[in-house]
Chain A
Amino acid sequence: MPKVTWVLGNGKEITAEVPVGHNMMEAAVAHNVPDVIGECGGCLSCATCHVFVDPAWFAKTGGPSEMESDMLEITMVDRQATSRLSCQIISAPELDGLVLKVPRL
């Protein structure tokens, strides 16, 4: 199962296995990653699951879709070059080792 690491605002790390097909927002909520909220349940309506993809992994996750990019305009912490809404990043074998940085709210 792909392993994913969230790096928190305070430098602490949380690593968990995320079943293929699950998204990174639900995985973060399941593992108590603070500041990934996922209020809308992953339907691209709230922008509360914002993460910065580690630049080394951005080619593998890819960039946001058009709708997602629009929603990144209302994140609590301003978007950066590798910003994604984590509900739109779906676990897959090639994402084993993925590192996501969580903005500090």
Chain B
Amino acid sequence: MPDPIIIIGAGQAGASLAARLRALGYDGPLLMLGEEPVPPYQRPPLSKKYMSGELDLSRLLIRPESWYEEQNVQLRLSTPVASLSPRERCVTLADGTALRYAKLALTTGARPRRLPASIGGDLAGVFTIRNLADVDSLAPTLVPGKTMLVVGGGYIGLEAAAVGAAKGLQVVLVEMAPRILQRVACHLTADYFRDLHGRHGVIIRESAGLRELLGDGGRVTGAMMADGTLIEADLAVIGIGITPNDDLAREAGLTVDNGIVVDGSCRSSAAEIFAAGDCANFPWRGHRTRLESVQNAVEQAEHAAASMLGAAGDYNPVPWFWSDQYDVKLQIAGLNRGYDDAVLRPGKREGSQSVWYFAGDRLVAVDSKNDALAYAFGKKIIEAGRTIPKAVAADPAADLKSWAMGTAR
């Protein structure tokens, strides 16, 4: 029996990688190791429909449990890995079992940043949102009339605020930066979401640094802000970003720098070890990046699977993301990194709009809110490597389709 391909990490990337290996005809032994007790599941609904109770676990699974057996994928859950030995091509589990591999894929994902215990980060009633277990413990505390403090005005924090507000909690969101979405969107998009949350009763405080979470009997009771104001709260959700799970790789001597460093074919610095998804840092259009999205987890994992089977070629995604808050669907095409101008295009429906980001004359990203057509055409333009004049992008009467198809002039 040949040594198996081992996949460490049973999340979106791991599941996609396994499926692609099989789809590409790999019929050798395949083993996937997961730390969590459940088969790979979709994370995005955790802060949305699963948190609100609209979706149950069975609907969250990426593939039904039977799929792994049918595909002859050996899925070992609740199985943390202790270490790797690239030289021996060996994985050692936390229980001491040593497993040899022919090739190894690291799809270990990321973990949420937490507040240090010294400022109350370990109090009961303080939650992060990443895993099923996080939301299973958070959801029962969403009781109408209670106060939820959200620390961090990025997408996770805003989504949690939306679920909390919809459940009838008083929600206070604090953001240290001068505005929400500072790192990921322009002020036009931030204005839109500030207004949306305001209309749902969420109090948003920007330029609001947190000094510490306060507790009583080990349970959170509120927060003391840097300016000395006190916010009382029954629970706190911390949404201050994620850190790649690159420790195993680092300890094994692989090159690590804000994630596991891979080349365009998803190869790490060690022979026969590949990485994909949130944990992987890859070359993209002249610089290195790490993307935190489902799309990247799926597509990079599929690229890695092909590379593991000998295919050549560099991974070159056009990133896209989404977020759902209340009845607003935000869709983002491209990456706005490095933009120097953004224009607003009013949508055709109430509350719909899109923001078009430019670096010089080149369209780099589109944020659309309840305007899927703007997203769709913007994505096409970016994918094709074309652009659109700013004045056309901003004109709601202008035809986008001809620009998406490349027939406009």
Chain A interface residues toward B at CB < 8 A: 22, 26, 29-30, 32, 34, 37, 39-41, 43-47, 66-67, 70-71, 73-74
Contacts and interface: CB of A to CB of B under 8 A. Distances in A.
Given A30-B63, A45-B322, A67-B329, 15 more contacts: A26-B59, A32-B71, A39-B295, A39-B298, A40-B44, A41-B44, A43-B324, A46-B295, A46-B320, A66-B349, A70-B371, A70-B375, A73-B380, A74-B376, A74-B377
A30 B62 CA distance: 8
B372 A40 contact: no
Interface string B275-303: 00000000000000000001100100000
Nearest to A39: B298
A34 B376 contact: no
Contacts of B373: 70, 73
25 contacts: A26-B59, A29-B63, A30-B63, A32-B70, A39-B295, A39-B298, A40-B44, A41-B45, A43-B329, A44-B372, A45-B320, A66-B349, A67-B329, A67-B372, A70-B372, A70-B373, A70-B376, A71-B372, A71-B376, A73-B376, A73-B380, A73-B401, A74-B377, A74-B379, A74-B380
Contacts of A70: 371-373, 375-376
Given A32-B67, A44-B329, A73 B377 contact: yes
Contacts of A37: 298
B23 interface: yes
Nearest to A73: B376
Interface in B362-381: 370-373, 375-377, 379-380
A38 B295 CA distance: 11
A31 to B, nearest CB: 9
B331 interface: yes
B326 to A, nearest CB: 14
A66 B352 CA distance: 13
Specify the main secondary structure of chain B where it touches its partner.
helix
A19 to B, nearest CB: 10
A45 to B, nearest CB: 4
Chain B CB within 10 A, most for which of A43, A45, A70, A74:
A45
Interface in B313-330: 320, 322, 324, 329
B269 interface: no
Q: Which 3 A-B pairs have the closest CB atoms?
A: A70-B372, A70-B373, A45-B322
Interface in B75-91: none
A71 B59 CA distance: 23
Contacts of A22: 59
B59 to A, nearest CB: 7
B92 interface: no
B306 to A, nearest CB: 15
B132 to A, nearest CB: 15
A30 B324 CA distance: 25
Contact of B322 (A29, A43, A66): A43
A40 B324 CA distance: 12
Contacts of B331: 45
Interface in B34-67: 42, 44-45, 59, 62-64, 67
A40 B294 contact: yes
Contact of A67 (B44, B45, B370, B380): B370
Contacts of B320: 45-46
Chain A CB within 10 A, most for which of B70, B298, B370, B404:
B298
A32 B372 CA distance: 28
Chain A CB within 10 A, most for which of B375, B377, B404:
B375
Contacts of A73: 373, 376-377, 380, 401, 404
A46 B372 CA distance: 10
B362 to A, nearest CB: 20
Contacts of B59: 22, 26
B213 to A, nearest CB: 32
Nearest to B379: A74
A44 B375 CA distance: 11
B142 to A, nearest CB: 21
Contacts of A67: 329, 370, 372
Nearest to A34: B23
B48 to A, nearest CB: 8
Contacts of B380: 73-74
Contacts of B63: 29-30
Nearest to A40: B322
A34 B20 CA distance: 11
Interface in B339-379: 349, 370-373, 375-377, 379
